[in-house]
Amino acid sequence: MKKLFFFLVLISSLTLSAQGTGGIQGVITDTNGVPLAGATVYIKSIDKGIDADFDGKFAIENIKEGTYNVLVSFVGFESATKTVAVQNGKKTQLNISLKEASSVLDEVILTANKKPQKITEVPATVNVITAKDIQDFPSFNIGELAARQKGVDFVRSGVLGTGINIRGFNSAFNSKNLQMTDDRVSMLIATGLPYGSFSTVTKDDVERVEILLGPNGTLYGPNAHNGLVSTITKNPRTSEGTTIAVGAGDQNVVTGRLRHAQVLSDKFAYKIHLESTQGTEFNYVDSVYVGTKAYGEKNLDRDFNALKYGASLYYKPTSSSEITAYYGHSNNTNLAVNSTGRNQIKDWTIDVAQLKYVSKNFFANAYYTWSKTDETYSINQRTKNYIALVDNGFSEEEAWDLALYGGALFRDASERFNAEAQYNNSWGDFHLTTGVQYQLDMADSKGTYLMDQDGSIDVNQTGVYGQFEYKLNSGWNFLAGIRADNHDIYGTNLLPKAAITKTIGEGTFRLTYGKGIAAPTILNLKGYLFEGLLLGNSEGFTLTDGTKINKLEVETINSFEFGYKGKLSDKLYVDASAYYNMSENFISPALVITDFVNGNYVTHIGNEPIDPNAAGASASKPVLISYVNFGSVDTYGVDFGLNYYFTDAIRASINYSYFGRSLDKNDLSNDLNSDGKVLETELPVNTPENKFSLGFHYGGKKLYGSVFGRWVQDYDFFSGSHVAAKTQDLNGDGINDVIENGKGAVGNWNYGPLGGFTVDANLGYNLNDNISVGMNVTNVFDASVREFVASPEIGRLVSFELKYNFNVFKKN
């Protein structure tokens, strides 16, 4: 028996030896010969792969003899598949040069599932602003490129002030879309507002911006419930060199930028970046009302400046892992819209320090953010204070100095700590991603705009998530995920996610479901602004007639989406989706909750009665602004994008979006004015029903440029005391509450609905391999268009840029 066993083992060994094994090795570079460190090389049929090392080199060993399809991919580049024959005892050489993605469907993205994935296979609607898009856009404000994306509501409040909203319910203080930068939350700590110009990242260091439409909370947590905007910066190993850029334009704009990246060894690389911009805001003065009398904003400072800089050090302990240390700083002085008027931002600084580890299967991330301002103030409130002081006999100089107080001054010394650990792995057709996230917010306004007189308001939240994918060779892909979030105030919430995709030919159909939540921000809960004119709603209110307004609860959204992304012909690409969202406890923008016309004021905050003689919101104050939950609101829409390539250099793009909503009129939670009936006008949609854009893009080796037209259907906008709407009767009593080109009963001056048609254009020329010049024109025909409340009409804005790129480190 032992002899038979030995004989079988020997035969098996000889058989395996006869079958033989070999390997595949090579180098992955871009078309300029620069190694693509971290490029993925994968053989699906045997589920074997590896990431390229610092020099772009890779080697896969112990592969049985045979012929294999090898897939090579890298973020921002076209994927490539090569057929390779493996021979016994030999290492087959495979050198591949990847091209930068030339079409929207060649893109490999990172954000959707926290791993490299071809954009056609992503179970979500995704827009990508690439490094090429940014490089060819000669403007100091890359936020303008968001206007060219499908499904995005783009608004502009001034020269620097740009912002986006996704799928409904915008506001003057919009925190409904999570924004990330290199795996860092890029939202202000107390208010939850996106950084915008406060970002510490500079234009030339941005590799790409990925905009995901719809809920993405399973992997990214609360407040990714309407959408996610992820900015990814460049790795110095694939972007070595120096960039110097200077620009100038209308409104006295002058800007300068510097970026330098260098690889020191196979272990170390670094980059530094610096950007400074200054100019003058459009000449617009908002109205400040004391009673029914209007005054102009007092001592308005329209000059703005923004300074930002940062540095990163990259260390590779192994060929397939990397540790990154980052520090960034920004300082901003500008004008910003708030819920009652505008703020004069004065030297508001953001600092962030981050340490991140990335390997094939593990990801760990920790960062600390701190925010500081001592002199920012509400122009509206300071002007009101000034008028009252002058009327009481103070000199103008004394009145202006004293007017800084009395609810006008905003200070901030908030801090935030974030940490995350993640594990991911694949077994055959299965892929698992699981992780844990932690966030500690320490909001501190020094008692100026929050109820934090006793110290910072600390809020902990922890999330645990898992996502499971099953991908078949037949083109079917199944995804399921769930997240549990525990919040100090709101307890535990579950966020499930599911998707089915089917790839047919060169396109993919997708059916997805996702749940998102929006926890009220600290400002929503603990705000105390303008001496109590605007209060957070953490306790609820009682009005004179006994009406109860409940305290804020978590907003939830359940979203269903069906879409297709693919190639209809060699030149025509389409991305279309239809969605249906069901929202519960929708958190309103800041709204006037008192009925002062009928003498219905706030008498209790929570269970505590208000002293009519006390400072702040009281029964003697006719107006109180706060936040409320609506009941059930359903929204639905369509996002459609076409790209047609006449040639590799010439492309036309068409985007169309439709947005609608259905208000449950039987749910008295939607009865904002508590008159016993729900009206369509009681829900502030603040979103255009239709929007359409058409663009033409040319990208030659020397000359490049684009022309982009955008039409936004007129729409009404209500947020706090801001009104931009047509004349209408809001409460159905036969009397117009909103007067176009007039002052409403509560609101500031109403210039009428937002929206309109504009045309933008940019043109650039590469003088040689190092120097380029360009010009950008926003609103080419100087159309009269107002895009946001408490903001000027955005006239024609011209900017010029001269850029010098130099790379002495470039490999031959």
Can you tell me the mean pLDDT for 629-657?
91
Can you tell me the mean pLDDT for 772-788?
95
Can you tell me the mean pLDDT for 87-111?
71
Can you tell me the mean pLDDT for 459-464?
94
- Which pLDDT score, from 0 to 100, does residue 108 have? 56
List helix spans (H) across 354-451: 379-391, 396-402
pLDDT tens profile 42-70: 887 787 778 777 677 888 888 888 888 88
> Contact at 8 Å (CB) between 592 and 617?
no
Please name which of 414, 186, 171, 387 lies closest in space to residue 299, comparing C-alpha atoms: 387
Task: Report how far apart the first and last C-alpha atoms of the chain are (Å, whole number).
Answer: 64
Of 483 and 125, the structure prediction assigns the larger pLDDT to: 483
Other CB atoms closer than 10 Å to residue 282's CB: what's the count? 18
User: Domains in the chain, ordered, with CATH?
Assistant: 21-98 (2.60.40.1120), 108-519+554-590+627-806 (2.40.170.20)
Strand segments, DSSP code E, in 319-393 are 321-337, 342-359, 362-378
- Which pLDDT score, from 0 to 100, does residue 617 have? 42
Q: Please check the confidence at residue 618 and state whether its pLDDT lies above 50.
A: no
What's the token pair of residue 40?
């993925």
Amino acid at 16: L
Q: Please check the confidence at residue 402 and state whether its pLDDT lies above 50.
A: yes
From residue 566, how far is each of 215, 499, 503 by CA, in Å? Answer: 22, 17, 9
Task: Share the mean pLDDT of the chain.
Answer: 86
- Which pLDDT score, from 0 to 100, does residue 116 have? 60
What's the token pair of residue 295?
């005054």
Can you tell me the mean pLDDT for 648-662?
93
Give the range among 94-98, 194-198, 677-681 with minimum mean pLDDT: 677-681
Burial of 14 (0-12, 13-18, 19+ CB in 10 A): exposed
- Which pLDDT score, from 0 to 100, does residue 10 have? 44
Strand segments, DSSP code E, in 613-689 are 625-626, 632-645, 650-663
- Which pLDDT score, from 0 to 100, does residue 115 have? 58
Amino acid at 778: T
Q: Indicate the pLDDT class of residue 217, thresholds 50, 70 and 90.
A: confident
Q: Please check the confidence at residue 755 and state whether its pLDDT lies above 50.
A: yes
pLDDT tens profile 495-521: 999 999 998 888 889 999 999 888 888
Can you tell me the mean pLDDT for 755-764?
96
pLDDT tens profile 126-178: 888 888 889 899 988 888 999 999 999 999 999 988 888 898 888 888 877 88
What's the token pair of residue 203?
């234009």
- Which pLDDT score, from 0 to 100, does residue 811 have? 47
Q: Indicate the pLDDT class of residue 808, thresholds 50, 70 and 90.
A: low
Percent of the chain with pLDDT over 90: 47
List helix spans (H) across 439-537: 522-526
The β-bridge partners of 704 are 699, 764
- Which pLDDT score, from 0 to 100, does residue 184 have? 95
Length of the chain equals 812
- Which of the residue ranges 19-28, 248-257, 618-627 has the most confident prediction, judged by mean pLDDT? 248-257
pLDDT tens profile 527-545: 888 877 788 898 888 888 8
- Which pLDDT score, from 0 to 100, does residue 466 have? 92
Query: With b meaning 16 or more CB within 10 Å and e meaning fewer, what string describes 762-788?
Result: bbbebeeeeebebbbbbbbeeeebbbb
Please name which of 583, 441, 552, 554 lies closest in space to residue 491, comparing C-alpha atoms: 554
Residue 624: φ, ψ to 5°:
-135, 130
What's the token pair of residue 439?
């966030």
Of 557 and 49, the structure prediction assigns the larger pLDDT to: 557
- Which pLDDT score, from 0 to 100, does residue 185 have? 93
Of 427 and 399, the structure prediction assigns the larger pLDDT to: 399
Strands 57-64 and 91-93: unpaired
Q: Indicate the pLDDT class of residue 13, thresholds 50, 70 and 90.
A: very low
Q: Please check the confidence at residue 1 and state whether its pLDDT lies above 80.
A: no
Q: Indicate the pLDDT class of residue 339, thresholds 50, 70 and 90.
A: confident
